[in-house]
Amino acid sequence: MTESAAQPGLMYNHLDSDIHEFVFIEPGKADIDQFFAILERLLIETPPDRTLRYLVDVAHSSRGVSLVAMAQRFRRLEAQIPNRARGRTAVLHRAGALLNFVDDFIHALAPQQDKTRFFTADRRGEALAWLLFE
């Protein structure tokens, strides 16, 4: 069973593999707000001993998505929900983005209970496999 929702600049699918897929397409403020509303619901509803798996696709947005601003907003959200599930996030981006360079840096800064990796959009299968690996 898949759950899905769409905003003009955001598509959300809860895949059968229990991966929460977010695809950003020219997102505006309402789309980012919707993304965080879904995240908040997931963090509240998921038991703390589980792992939430996210596939975040920012490869389709020509103006980009501020991952720094999103990380800051997520930190505020996790402060509101300190006893939460672990997170495992794969971010798909366009080839040539500087994200390949910062992948290890971000990995080092993430809270120990969370893991984040960056993949170019053409490595979607690898990203999905990494999400399911524990």
Instruction: Name the pLDDT band for 2 (thresholds 50, 70, 90).
Output: very low
Instruction: Name the pLDDT band for 1 (thresholds 50, 70, 90).
Output: very low
What pTM value is reported for the model?
A: 0.83
pLDDT for 46 equals 95
Concatenating the DSSP letter of every residue in the chain gives: --EEEEETTEEEEE-TTSEEEEEESS--HHHHHHHHHHHHHHHHHS-TTSEEEEEEE-TT-SS---HHHHHHHHHHHHHHS-S--EEEEEEEE-TT-THHHHHHHHHHHS-TTEEEEEEEGGGHHHHHHHHH--
User: What average pLDDT does range 42-51 have in this prediction?
Assistant: 94
Class of domain 3-132: alpha beta
Q: What is the pLDDT of residues 50-72, one digit of tens each?
A: 999 999 998 887 766 777 777 78
Domain ranges for the chain: 3-132
pLDDT for 22 equals 95
